[in-house]
Structure 1
């Protein structure tokens, strides 16, 4: 069984419990270990790890990165996670579960700097690096063995060591023949993990797993699948393409292929920002505009912030909706002039939502900016819209107050939840992570 010590990089064809060279127990073994080339790299509890790096006295203590008492958890270290704290959990619930936690306000400038440092080390391994979020990326190391003098598994183990030494955080790595399996693999061994899933074992290994292990299959869709008799990936694997299409629509065959561990998506590095967006997945399908409009407003606010951070503006907006059957709808509208003001973005996207809200149940909603233009051209105003500069000034004033007193200091009424609305109707992010800009 091919094996690799992740501490001294000793390679062997045996499968020892401890490394024969250094005695370490951190030995990775897999039949295809030295033949796999697609890697999913995930920084472990990233925000919390950066904070512990900068405050060594917090080592061993539960750390939560997040907002105030009425905010949510942005990240939690593994100590806090053992107490039941999870990303996107309301802060008051997190503190009930872990009252002795150290709570730290997010410092996104610091996290971005650390993310860029990790990214630079990735790009020394291969030009095929696709960022998935601030703390995750997919790499294709095919054909790099001659360059690095070692198969991808050894190259990645060395990379993990460099990240710990030079950046001060740890990473977990999933290694597989495709992106889907690499993503599933990385979740199997955290933190500081190196897990493999090979092509030969994929279907059998996945057969007993719940359908929720597939990225994008949230609670609502999982419940619908369970109602149809599909709770494990093995049950989906048995479907023929025609039957899959009959049951699940156009995306049915793709769903079955993913249940078998098949994924043909290439790793696509993109240097320039192509789009900036914000989206969220509901914990139950929604169909009424009144339920979705406050959520859409909050997404417009997030989009506006992301545009401002990148020095960009929206020349138009894109509404993204995904139905309960996973059918995707996108609708576009041009703006009268470039903008980074949520009110302007919301006014443009709201009619698109009204036209699509025909009783269809949706599981996801999102808004994107397209095309992107230079931020300096935004909200200048003209004869057709002389109020644009005033709207921009109001938004800037609100953001200034939030920066000083917290996100809850001032809120727009249209973003508030209706009184008496059940908590179960609140939107939650799939797997606790919200998607952001594509880079």
Structure 2
């Protein structure tokens, strides 16, 4: 009679410093091999494979890395007093500073902060280095922004000689050593829960949410933790007595859809810990946009149109560089009291011309000008498609072909001599 062998136990704890896996988190919380306190333990640690990696205060971390004298100081990355906070370090956050906060409010809360103008080119270089490290860990990387992404490490155990949790800890350790910034990990069985988990233990965090605990964990989470639930929807949910995710479980999917439209389906699924979305590498951009914040509030339509034109050129340049075209145009305005106004128009056919973006946005802007002062203007192209479909001949607009030729000629001159080599009159100030 042969003895039945017991299935091998999967490790439930990991040291994030020496990367040793073992069973059971020690009573003193320290790694039994290197005595590091950075131990993560969870019953499902070795079976979960979907992660969200988010660099900690990325822009500010890059600045502190390159300027060691700022290591213990509050740092804010952003524009002038009229702009907003693009990023802030954790020292600044102690004072209540947050990303997207108006700069004047941030400086009221933290007047001693060092303010640094964003250097996007430098951040992109570092973000690209980090992306390459992610893709060396798994081909299933879905970028969310310059410094964060979803990763699916299913099936990578043999390649990396260990479960996804260990591979992720090694990835973060490599990012710290080679790039000089820190990152936090959320590990779970779907993207929704991985994203929430990554926010639980920042900075340098590693949080795990397993299937067995998912419903209990979600019960006390605010509905605002669900991606897509903005301030307006959160207010509507609150009016209906829904402030926590567990409150959504009172309703059937059809009821939530009747109340909140297509978003109701997502609310229902996420409330029960379900998220069927795969980690999708190289998912195409959904829109391309550009915006600018004014030094002084503007209410004059002519001045607003003058400020709009460079943003149209910027978006058109990015569309052409990516060989894309947009079939919808969105105008964005922000009032002096920070209320955001958007207007959108669907085009008959796609465009990547600055001229068409401007001509489409102009009537929307004129209708929005009702005496209010604005602090920001922006333009976006959505419903993106291949650039080959851009701006076909149109019998209703016989002059389009000529305008397209003129714009192509301007693009060619700028490519040789620089972006400021030639400028259209609509971008000039009156009197120039």
Q: Same fold (TM over 0.5)?
A: yes
Partner of 1:371: 385
- 1:70-81 correspondence to structure 2 within 5 Å: 70-81=82-93
Which residue matches 2:242? Answer: 230
Q: Is the 8 A contact 1:319 1:331 kept in 2?
A: yes
Residue 151 of structure 1 corresponds to which residue in structure 2? 163
Matched, 1:34 2:46: yes
Deviation at 1:276, TM superposition (A): 4.1
The structure-2 alpha-carbon separation of the partners of 1:250 and 1:276, relative to structure 1 and needing over 3 Å to count, comes to: closer
Q: Structure 1 residue 260: deviation in Å?
A: 1.9
> Given the alignment of the two structures, is residue 383 of structure 1 paired with residue 395 of structure 2, yes or no?
no
- Residue 160 of structure 1 corresponds to 172
Distance (whole Å) between structure 1 residues aligned to residue 102 and residue 276 of structure 2: 37
Distance 1:160 1:149, change over 3 A: same
1:99-114 alignment runs, 5 A limit:
99-114=111-126
Q: Secondary structure at the match of 2:387?
A: strand
Q: CA deviation at 1:245?
A: 2.5
Distance 1:320 1:181 in 2: 31
The gaps in structure 2 that reach 5 residues or longer are 1-10, 292-298, 332-343, 368-378, 392-398, 422-426
The equivalent position to 1:185 in structure 2, one of 191, 197, 213, is 197
Q: Shift in Å at residue 238 of structure 1?
A: 2.5
Matches of 2:304 and 2:50, distance apart in 1 = 36
Whether the aligned pair in 1 keeps the contact of 2:327 and 2:382 (CA below 8 Å) is yes
SS at match of 2:54: strand
**TM-score, L = length of structure 2:** 0.75
- Over 3 Å counting, the alpha-carbon distance change for 1:212 and 1:275 in structure 2 is closer
Distance in 2 between residues matched to 1:26 and 1:237, nearest whole Å:
36
Alignment counterpart, residue 187 of structure 2, candidates 161, 175, 186 = 175
SS of residue matched to 2:262: helix
Higher relative contact order (CA 8 A, sep 6+): 1
1:10 matched to which residue of 2? Answer: 20
Partner residue in 1 for 2:314? 305
Conserved in 1, the CA contact under 8 Å of 2:78 and 2:87?
yes
Identify the residue that residue 137 of structure 1 maps to in structure 2.
149
Deviation at 1:126, TM superposition (A): 0.7
Contact 1:303 1:368 in 2 (8 A): no
Whole-Å separation in 2 of the counterparts to 1:232 and 1:298: 42
* Count of paired positions: 368
> 1:362 maps to which residue?
none
Residues 239-287 of structure 1, C-alpha deviation per residue, up to 9 Å, x if partnerless?
112322232233323211112221000011128x55542499xxxxxxx
Question: 2:315 touches 2:380 (CA, 8 Å); kept in 1?
Answer: no
- Corresponding residue of 1:268: 280
CA distance in 2, matches of 1:368, 1:188: 33
Alignment pair present for 1:61 and 2:73: yes
Where 1:99 maps in the other structure, the secondary structure is coil
- SS of structure 1 residue aligned to 2:402: coil
CA distance in 2, matches of 1:124, 1:110: 22
Q: Over residues 175-226 of structure 1, what are the superposed CA-to-partner deviations in whole Å (9 max), with x where a residue is unaligned?
A: 0100000000001110111111111211111111111111121121111111
RMSD of equivalent CA atoms? 3.8
- 3-state secondary structure, aligned to 1:79: helix
Offset of residue 344 of structure 1: 3.0
Structure 1 residue matching 2:127: 3-state secondary structure = helix
Secondary structure in 1 matching 2:165:
helix
Gaps (5+ residues) in structure 1?
281-289, 322-328, 356-364, 402-409, 414-439
Give 1:258's match in structure 2, choosing from 270, 286, 295.
270
Is 1:334 the equivalent of 2:342?
no
Length-normalised TM-score, structure 1: 0.73
Deviations 1:123-144 (A, max 9, x none): 1111111101111101100000
Larger Rg: 2
Correspondences of 1:281-430 after superposition (within 5 Å)? 304-305=313-314, 308=317, 311-312=321-322, 315-319=325-329, 331-334=346-349, 338-339=352-353, 341=354, 344-348=356-360, 367-368=381-382, 370-373=384-387, 382-383=401-402, 388=407
